[in-house]
Amino acid sequence: MLGRLNHVALAVPALADAVARYRDMLGATVSAPQALPEHGVTVVFVELDNTKIELLEPLGEGSPIAAFLAKNPKGGMHHVCYEVTDIVAARDRLVAAGARVLGDGEPKIGAHGRPVVFIHPGDMFGTLTELEEV
């Protein structure tokens, strides 16, 4: 069911500072910021040879990233994202196995313009897990 690791997401308190650190200190290629109001975040992607790092900043008052940063003011790992070929089949398989899909359970369009779902961290060893259809 699982394909490759698509990205590791880091919540950051200030996106511009995080972009500068990755770009200037580490010499990374970083995408332009993209606001995702449906997910309550603004994101950029740090491009690596074998995967990506997604940097997340809260967008709006109700952002789930704001709550994460309240507990982790310096930021930290927020989630991992794996690729799947059929998001609905993957979701159904996980639900049948007892996993909890966050939200209403229906895939939403993610930062790459593809359907995504999130699996409750309590069902994945404390790690919020995103599945993205490719």
pLDDT means over runs of 10, the chain (134 residues): 96 98 97 95 97 96 92 97 98 97 96 97 97 98
Looking at residue 59, what is its pLDDT? 96
- The catalytic residue among 54, 130, 132, 133 is 130
Question: Which domain does 112 fall in, by range?
Answer: 5-133
Looking at residue 7, what is its pLDDT? 98
Looking at residue 31, what is its pLDDT? 98
Count other Cβ atoms within 10 Å, centred on residue 20.
12
Number of separate domains in the chain = 1
CATH number at residue 121: 3.10.180.10
Measured distance CA(9)–CA(39) in Å, rounded = 13
Q: Give yes or no: 106 in active site.
A: no
